[in-house]
Structure 1
Amino acid sequence: MMRYLTLCSIEMAKNLVKEFLETLKDIEEVDLFNAVGRTLAEDIISNIDVPPYDRAKMDGYAVKAEDTYEAEEDNPVELKVIGSLKAGELKDLKINSGECVEIATGAVIPKGANAVVMVEYTEKKENGKVKIYRAVPPMENIQFAGSDIMAGELILRKNTPLTPRDIGVLSAIGRKKIKVYKKLKFGIISTGNELTSPEEKLDFGKIYDINSYTLASYIKELGYDFEFFGIAKDDKEDLKEKIKKALKCDIILLSGGTSAGVGDLTETEIKELGGEILVHGIKIKPGKPTIIGKIEEKLIVGLPGYPTSCLTIFDVLFGNEKNVIKARFPQRYISARGRTEYLPVILVKYKDGFSAYPITKGSGAITSLSEADGYIVIDENKEILEDEEVNVHVFGDVKIGLNIIGSHCIGVDIILKEGGLFAKTINVGSLGGLISIKRGEADIAGTHLLDEKTGTYNIPFLERYKVEDAVLVRGYIREQGFIFRKELGFKTIKDILENIYNLEFINRNRGSGTRILFDKFLKDYKLSPSKIKGYTIEAKTHSAVATAIVMKKADIGLGIKTVADQYGLGFIPLADEYYDFLIRKDRFNDEDVQTFIKTLKIVKLPFKKPKDCGEVIWEG
């Protein structure tokens, strides 16, 4: 079958879904206990004033304001107390000139009173009088009837998603039940012979079903319902039976049912069940093979199998279009022209707003899904995105914590865990961290940059790059060296030098301190980078280097001894290095930053700690 000859635009696909959803807006009535997260199907107009009477905003004494005008701290006015009122009490009290009523917050203002003196500025006497030490103007400390909500006022509009705050307002005007739109119900089917349910043993060649649980959770977060119909094998009858069962739902989602072969099977079963294909192929990346069809009055959507692609396309078609945050895209990214690209990003909060960092591991990486706060849309005619403002379509709420951007180190993970801190850690290398501090994006940047001329770590780079409004806190000493499989039998640097051109190397990313150290090693020994096999293959973390060596994707790489020990690999030391922390001055006294520094000082780490660990060693 010739597939994807005509790709539809994403706007056409969104409009198809939008038109279908408009046909499903049935209305039901629910009580307030079950209304949160639902969408209002009516305008809400108050039929009462809130508050319904004039009431005291403070504990004190209800008075005639003019009786207090002469009151001063050293010359108080005395008024006769004719009674008291608590919240909810009804008494027929009326004050005349020279009189007052003791009153509690929320109590009805008695007749004749036009102000309340706070209890802090009074002194009650045993003779039934009270001394007033401060004058009050008319209307002071009184909340008047209808000052919050007036009868006849529109307080909530139709199509408003209801929050706990909205429920409070509805209860304040005496509404017990409200009209809302019925919840959409999604039927979820995962497809693929390779899928296994999470509670089952994972056999070789199988993977656990991720998409069903991700989609179900997001559907609930959007305020909808779902039913899971299981995993369908790549089998015609199995898929058909599960689709037939799911037809009791409003919308059926098939994840992984779009790839070559399986996509044809999905299309065939939709048609055999009397349905039609509306879309097979959308001009987007990722998600090109997405299928949209109908059986009777039920919509069927075939989503990509990769988790990040699956969630992104679902959000594009069914998510909240208004859940968008403006952010600055600080890096350079090259997009493929000809298809609209949906690029997953991590959001970082800084003093002037948000920055969006791209996740480039690919939509098949599980961590792409867990790290992504949302995605940006790159137009099909745009090729380069660089240092510009973008709109980030957010997956739910954005988690805000410390922003740690810079060099990777397992010590940071230990400090965060032991300190009970939440943080977004983005591994862009030491230089990338330094730049992110200058831009005001990172709170903390781990750095280990060796200056070749002085042999000093970090400080020469801070001065060279004119870093301002930041401090450098002493961290710890790491042992850097060559990591390799023990079977290679290397004992000394000389052994490595004799074999280096015959080994498959795994390098670190440009801008990282480890990369700078390796380049210095090559220069010192007059070795040519172009002759190093794998010199251009980069890993972003020490753990990634070790994993590549264990899996025999590479023979050797540069990293820290702690990781070599952790993975059971051989290690030959090259240099001791200072891994320090660059911190923005305006964040230095933040509670989380201080907790990070205190934990750094006391936590047990697999590295040597100098005497000045946790102390400021440079200020810019």
Structure 2
Amino acid sequence: MHNKKLNISPAWIFRTANGELFEPILFRLLEGIRDTGKLTAAATNAGISYRHAWNLLNRGGHIIGLPLVIMRKGQGSQLSPLGEKLLWAEHRVDARLGPQIDSMTAELNDQIQQLLANTKPTLRLHASHGYAVALLPEVAEQLNINLQYRNPAEAISALNRGECDIASFHLPTCPQLARQVLSHYLDLLSDGSHRLIRFVTRREGLMLRKGEHPQVRSLKDFSESGLRFISRDLHSGTRILFNLLLEQQGLDANSINGSGQQEFTHTAVAAFVASGMADVGFGVQAAADQFGLDFLELACEHYLLIYRPEHLSQSALDHLIELLRAPELLERIDSVPGYQPDQPGQITGFDELIASDQ
């Protein structure tokens, strides 16, 4: 049986109007200087010579007309403001497009599997962006997981049309908020045939640059602060949850100083805040930790899988439940900040789940 999977790792090319470009290795060099404060160590980590590293920095500075690195004798090296902005631009591109690249990778591997004899069964999973669900294709041995990132409405719509086998859905552990979230999807869930599979819980809250804005200790503090906010896209489950939290506390959404831009993943929101382009974002703790941000928890939610029994074979369901309970997967979930296994593999319904949180 063919078990090898291909990965797509794009290299972002930054090119000027005159055709001058920054080699992709330059960004690994800048990252190394930021982390170590030494050009020699950064060059070694990037796998290039000190001379090559020096030439890359000089050439990059010459292209724009500003230095990328500040070097002081006896004090090591640090990124200049331009070097910081270039590196953060690359991080934001990666955070914004990474999930789309992951979806393309899943599609490619699915197509390869279909061309091979004796292939593993494929499970088509449409899911909201999350750090635990991203582990499923990596850990699965008995299944080929074709993971496509979609917002909840898109995922459930695809499930109802038979375009995927499993979708994801997330509900707050607060029963009142859970019922309000469900009300947004009544048209898609009205026939009562959907079943839930418990997977993980995750913590969501405000993300702020470390040590800044200590006056923000609650959602009310933030709403009154005037700090710049970067939001998720309008149809994401996280955006719906944030709006409901404002409503629950009697806060006006218009009081939030929104940037006017929306991001489509937790990672992209965190990168936007970490780069200084916004002061506050809302998302999962794992994204905040990934970019070294402070995290103020505001909610906990069940991240669930949802299916229609008439569209999923018992064999595929059994393989999936076995995967969700696999020791390797549970161990990796335990290492993701803010995530915890949530009776994985247990099949339930919406009413039963909400009642269990009473």
CA distance in 2, matches of 1:619, 1:609: 18
Counterpart amino acid of residue 286 in structure 2: T
Tell me what 1:456 maps to. 178
Tell me what 2:290 maps to. 566
Structure 2 residue 202 is the aligned partner of structure 1 residue 478: yes
CA distance in 2, matches of 1:520, 1:594: 36
CA distance in 1, matches of 2:140, 2:212: 40
Q: Structure 1 residues 568-577 or 417-426, which shifts more?
A: 417-426
Structure 2 residue 25 is the aligned partner of structure 1 residue 193: no
Structural RMSD (CA): 3.9
Structure 2 residue 144 is the aligned partner of structure 1 residue 413: no
Structure 2 residue 313 is the aligned partner of structure 1 residue 589: yes
* CA drift at 1:423: 3.5
Tell me what 1:609 maps to. 341
Relative to structure 1, the CA distance from residue 396 to residue 512 in structure 2 (aligned partners, 3 Å threshold; closer, same or farther) is closer
1:502 alignment partner, SS class: coil
Question: CA contact under 8 A between 2:159 and 2:165: conserved in structure 1?
Answer: yes
Tell me what 1:404 maps to. 125
Counterpart amino acid of residue 244 in structure 2: K
* CA drift at 1:433: 1.8
1:537 pairs with 261, 279, 298, which one?
Answer: 261
Tell me what 2:154 maps to. 432
Relative to structure 1, the CA distance from residue 397 to residue 455 in structure 2 (aligned partners, 3 Å threshold; closer, same or farther) is closer
Q: Structure 1: any 5+ residue segments left out of the alignment? A: 1-190, 207-360, 374-393
CA distance in 1, matches of 2:111, 2:280: 39
Tell me what 1:218 maps to. none
2:234 alignment partner, SS class: coil
CA distance in 1, matches of 2:133, 2:108: 27
* TM-score where L is the length of structure 2: 0.58
Relative to structure 1, the CA distance from residue 503 to residue 591 in structure 2 (aligned partners, 3 Å threshold; closer, same or farther) is farther
Question: CA contact under 8 A between 2:103 and 2:148: conserved in structure 1?
Answer: no
Question: CA contact under 8 A between 1:529 and 1:535: conserved in structure 2?
Answer: no
CA distance in 1, matches of 2:171, 2:350: 17
- The aligned length equals 250
* CA drift at 1:431: 2.6
CA distance in 2, matches of 1:572, 1:524: 17
Tell me what 1:576 maps to. 300
Relative to structure 1, the CA distance from residue 506 to residue 576 in structure 2 (aligned partners, 3 Å threshold; closer, same or farther) is same
Q: Which residues in structure 2 correspond to 1:188-587 (within 5 Å)?
A: 192-194=19-21, 196=23, 201-202=25-26, 398=111, 401-420=122-141, 421-450=143-172, 454-456=176-178, 465-490=189-214, 493-494=217-218, 497-498=221-222, 500-534=224-258, 536-587=260-311
CA distance in 2, matches of 1:474, 1:495: 29
Higher helix share: 2
Tell me what 1:213 maps to. none
Relative to structure 1, the CA distance from residue 461 to residue 613 in structure 2 (aligned partners, 3 Å threshold; closer, same or farther) is farther
Q: 1:144-165, CA deviations, whole angstroms, 9 ceiling, x for partnerless residues?
A: xxxxxxxxxxxxxxxxxxxxxx
Relative to structure 1, the CA distance from residue 495 to residue 542 in structure 2 (aligned partners, 3 Å threshold; closer, same or farther) is closer
Question: CA contact under 8 A between 2:128 and 2:169: conserved in structure 1?
Answer: yes
* CA drift at 1:202: 2.9
* TM-score where L is the length of structure 1: 0.35
CA distance in 2, matches of 1:536, 1:591: 47
* CA drift at 1:616: 0.8
Counterpart amino acid of residue 26 in structure 2: L
Counterpart amino acid of residue 240 in structure 2: I
Q: 1:482-537, CA deviations, whole angstroms, 9 ceiling, x for partnerless residues?
A: 11111324376337625655211111122322112110122123333234222653
Structure with the bigger RCO (C-alpha within 8 Å, sep 6+) is: 2
Relative to structure 1, the CA distance from residue 573 to residue 443 in structure 2 (aligned partners, 3 Å threshold; closer, same or farther) is same
CA distance in 2, matches of 1:466, 1:412: 26
CA distance in 2, matches of 1:402, 1:595: 10
Question: CA contact under 8 A between 1:449 and 1:516: conserved in structure 2?
Answer: no
Q: 1:166-208, CA deviations, whole angstroms, 9 ceiling, x for partnerless residues?
A: xxxxxxxxxxxxxxxxxxxxxxxxx943164x7xx436999xx
CA distance in 1, matches of 2:345, 2:296: 28
Relative to structure 1, the CA distance from residue 453 to residue 194 in structure 2 (aligned partners, 3 Å threshold; closer, same or farther) is same
Relative to structure 1, the CA distance from residue 557 to residue 422 in structure 2 (aligned partners, 3 Å threshold; closer, same or farther) is farther
CA distance in 1, matches of 2:149, 2:109: 24
Higher strand share: 1
Relative to structure 1, the CA distance from residue 613 to residue 508 in structure 2 (aligned partners, 3 Å threshold; closer, same or farther) is same
Give the greater-gyration-radius structure (CA). 1
CA distance in 1, matches of 2:145, 2:304: 18
Percent pairwise identity: 24
* CA drift at 1:410: 0.8
Relative to structure 1, the CA distance from residue 548 to residue 577 in structure 2 (aligned partners, 3 Å threshold; closer, same or farther) is same
* CA drift at 1:569: 0.9
Relative to structure 1, the CA distance from residue 591 to residue 534 in structure 2 (aligned partners, 3 Å threshold; closer, same or farther) is farther
Question: CA contact under 8 A between 1:508 and 1:514: conserved in structure 2?
Answer: yes
* CA drift at 1:567: 1.9
CA distance in 1, matches of 2:250, 2:110: 52
Question: CA contact under 8 A between 2:259 and 2:278: conserved in structure 1?
Answer: no
Q: Structure 2: any 5+ residue segments left out of the alignment? A: 1-17, 31-92, 115-121, 352-358
CA distance in 2, matches of 1:456, 1:418: 30
Question: CA contact under 8 A between 2:223 and 2:256: conserved in structure 1?
Answer: no
Counterpart amino acid of residue 532 in structure 1: I
